[in-house]
Amino acid sequence: MARPEKVDAVNELSENFSNATATVVTEYRGLTTAQLKELRRNLGEDATYRVAKNTLVRRATEQAGVEGIDDLIQGPTALTFIKGEPVDAAKTLRDFAKDHKALEIKGGYMDGRPISAGEVERIADLDSREVTLGKLAGAMKAKLNQAAGMFAAPASQVARMTEALKAKKEE
């Protein structure tokens, strides 16, 4: 018979899997408590870093319908549950792993399918949503300015031609 605290832990993990837009699986062997606290603080409010027992994680993935990450759940496992855009959290994890070699990104789960550690790296290389929208707005503004200049060109050409004809007649 399962103990109530384990059942609660599995239910909580399952709920986290269901509510997250992405989940990154890491191995934290060798990190100190202070470093884990620093990582949690760096991840911010949109991500939750959770250390859990592998058996509980496997049961939670089964309960949540998450398939394909069982091979990632070996050794000391920690999960990053990301709510919202995964780019910022992936960047934080990547940068933290560069500074602290003990943190290993194993892979994850996003959009209903497992993702590799390389795919997590590629997500981290993307611009954030705000930066992408800013670039799009800048590109649109540039095209609008170009169109305005193109529409104004015939009128300014007529004015220059009129001035040229006027100057020629005066000579």
What is the distance between the alpha carbons of residues 148 and 24, in angstroms, rounded to a whole number?
47
Confidence of residue 4 (pLDDT cuts 50, 70, 90): confident
Residues 119 and 160 in one domain: no
Domain containing residue 27: CATH number: 3.30.70.1730
What is the distance between the alpha carbons of residues 136 and 116, in angstroms, rounded to a whole number?
29
Residues 47 and 10 in one domain: yes
Residues 86 and 134 in one domain: no
Residues 88 and 169 in one domain: no
Residues 39 and 23 in one domain: yes
pLDDT at 1 over 60: no
Residues 120 and 47 in one domain: yes
What is the pLDDT at residue 144? 77
Q: Could you give the percent of the chain with pLDDT greater than 70? A: 98
Residues 8 and 69 in one domain: yes
Show the domain range for 163. 129-171
What is the pLDDT at residue 68? 86
Residues 137 and 58 in one domain: no
User: How confident is the model over 153-163, as pLDDT tens digits?
Assistant: 777 777 778 88
User: What is the bridge-based pairing of β-strands 113-116 and 22-27?
Assistant: unpaired
Positive or negative CA dihedral for 48, 55, 117, 33? positive
Residues 58 and 90 in one domain: yes
Confidence of residue 134 (pLDDT cuts 50, 70, 90): confident
Tokens of 47: 């991500």
Mean pLDDT over each residue of the chain, to the nearest integer:
87
Domain end residue (candidates: 111, 126, 141): 126
pLDDT at 12 over 90: yes
Residues 110 and 156 in one domain: no
Residues 105 and 136 in one domain: no
User: How confident is the model over 34-83, as pLDDT tens digits?
Assistant: 999 999 999 988 899 999 999 999 999 999 988 888 888 998 999 999 99
What pTM value is reported for the model?
0.73
Residues 99 and 138 in one domain: no
Tally of structural domains, the chain: 2
